[in-house]
């Protein structure tokens, strides 16, 4: 590892290995966890359990993939969890209590989520507020509305169409996996291959620069709100359908889990870079932690502790990993 060794020999040095490990920390953690769990619990590696994990992770992943766009474009939104729960309740009320056609219910759900996110965007953009604080407040508003319109009761009697989205299978694969796949492909292509994606990342990377380059920031922020809103609504449909009722507490902790999954997956908090597949891995990681603790019959309060610890570890890896990578970059610059 001396500076004098010829370049060709260094092509696959320990440097590259470290770099790979840091960039794919979520996958590495997931792999380690899976190996450990497969030894500790005989039930872990069964098809039934794994499908269950994926099914549970899919809601988080649908949110997370939308959030990857939001975060990498330099925005922050803590209200998405509450908004998802509120949307679920609106869908359930329209579907179960009023008897509106399920397709219209879903459209209404999309409308509710999109409106909520656009409202956040409007307030942030118009009054130049920090999104972090503002969405903490609007999240509270959405949660309040959810309790008001539901009257504090979870809403059951969901129609079969909605249940199908949360519970049904096509070719023995859960419906939400298809939805997730569509969103995953959509977002990957959007961020990697389109002008809009590049512009969004530029906004996250350097908002002032993006403005000077003639990018219409306000318009793009609204488009991002619409996309995130659509993801939130789909997540709400799946959650409601899976439980066959609208859960009032469905949104609690969702925003935190989503952010954690996105950041563990390699999308930095400050934006400018997006890692969509990483988000998927991050979601699986969080879900496997819960699943593992369940299998080991650990008190569910420990789940929160474990999740918190993992998030702390992920953030440390994120910040320190960036530092280490920067040192590598300095080195290649010096060359």
Look at strands 245-246 and 155-156 and give their pairing. antiparallel
Residue with tokens 């590259």: 16
Alpha-carbon radius of gyration of the chain? 21
Q: Is 152 helix (H, G, I), strand (E, B) or coil?
A: coil
98 binds another protein (CB under 8 A): no
Task: Identify which range of 46-54, 102-110, 192-200, 287-295 contacts another protein by CB under 8 A.
Answer: 192-200
**Residues composing the chain:** 335
Q: Is 68 helix (H, G, I), strand (E, B) or coil?
A: helix
∠ at Cα 50 (46, 52), nearest 5°? Answer: 120
Q: Which residues contact 178 (CB under 8 A, 6 or more apart)?
A: 170
103 binds another protein (CB under 8 A): no
Nearer to another protein, 160 or 270 (CB): 270
Smallest distance from the beta carbon of 224 to another protein, in angstroms? 15
Pairwise CA distance, residues 182 & 188, whole Å: 10
Nearer to another protein, 168 or 205 (CB): 205
196 binds another protein (CB under 8 A): yes
Task: Identify which range of 30-38, 127-135, 193-201, 277-285 contacts another protein by CB under 8 A.
Answer: 193-201
The footprint of another protein on this chain (CB under 8 A) covers a number of residues equal to 35
335 binds another protein (CB under 8 A): yes
The interface with another protein within residues 242-281 (CB under 8 A) comprises 272-273
206 binds another protein (CB under 8 A): yes
Pairwise CA distance, residues 264 & 33, whole Å: 14
211 binds another protein (CB under 8 A): yes
| Out of 184, 198, 256, 318, the residue judged to bind another protein by CB under 8 A | 198
**Of the candidates 154, 142, 148, 153, which has an alpha carbon nearest to the alpha carbon of residue 86?**
142
| Out of 209, 313, 316, 320, the residue judged to bind another protein by CB under 8 A | 209
Residues that bind another protein in the complex, under the rule CB under 8 A: 1-3, 15, 189, 193-196, 198-199, 201-202, 205-206, 208-216, 272-273, 327-335
């Amino acid at each position: 590892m001396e500076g004098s060794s010829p370049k060709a020999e260094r092509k696959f040095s320990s440097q590259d290995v470290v770099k790979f490990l840091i960039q794919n920390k979520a996958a590495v953690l997931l792999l380690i966890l899976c190996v450990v769990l497969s030894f500790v619990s005989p039930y872990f590696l069964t098809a039934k359990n794994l499908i269950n994990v994926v099914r549970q992770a899919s809601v988080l992943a649908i949110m997370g993939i939308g959030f990857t766009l939001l975060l990498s474009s330099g925005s922050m939104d803590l209200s998405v969890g509450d908004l998802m729960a509120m949307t679920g309740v609106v869908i359930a009320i329209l579907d179960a209590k009023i008897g509106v056609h399920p397709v219209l219910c879903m459209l209404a759900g999309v409308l509710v989520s999109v409106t909520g996110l656009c409202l956040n965007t409007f307030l942030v953009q118009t009054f130049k507020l920090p999104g972090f604080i503002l969405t903490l407040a609007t999240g509270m508003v959405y949660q309040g509305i959810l309790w008001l319109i539901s009257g504090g009761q979870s809403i059951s009697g969901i129609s079969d169409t909605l249940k199908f989205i949360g519970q049904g299978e096509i070719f023995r694969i859960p419906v939400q996996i298809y939805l997730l796949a569509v969103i995953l492909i959509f977002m990957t292509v959007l961020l990697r291959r389109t002008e809009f994606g590049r512009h969004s990342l530029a906004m996250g990377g350097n908002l002032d620069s993006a403005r000077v380059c003639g990018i219409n920031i306000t318009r793009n922020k609204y488009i991002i709100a619409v996309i995130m809103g659509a993801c939130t609504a789909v997540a709400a449909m799946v959650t409601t359908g899976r439980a066959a009722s609208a859960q009032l507490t469905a949104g609690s902790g969702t925003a935190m889990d989503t952010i954690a999954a996105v950041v563990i997956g390699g999308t930095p908090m400050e934006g400018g870079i997006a890692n969509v597949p990483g988000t998927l891995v991050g979601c699986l990681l969080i879900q496997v932690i819960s699943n593992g603790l369940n299998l080991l019959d650990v008190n569910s309060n420990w789940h929160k502790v474990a999740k918190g610890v993992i998030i702390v570890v992920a953030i440390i890896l994120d910040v320190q990993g960036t530092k280490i990578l920067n040192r590598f970059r300095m080195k290649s610059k010096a060359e």
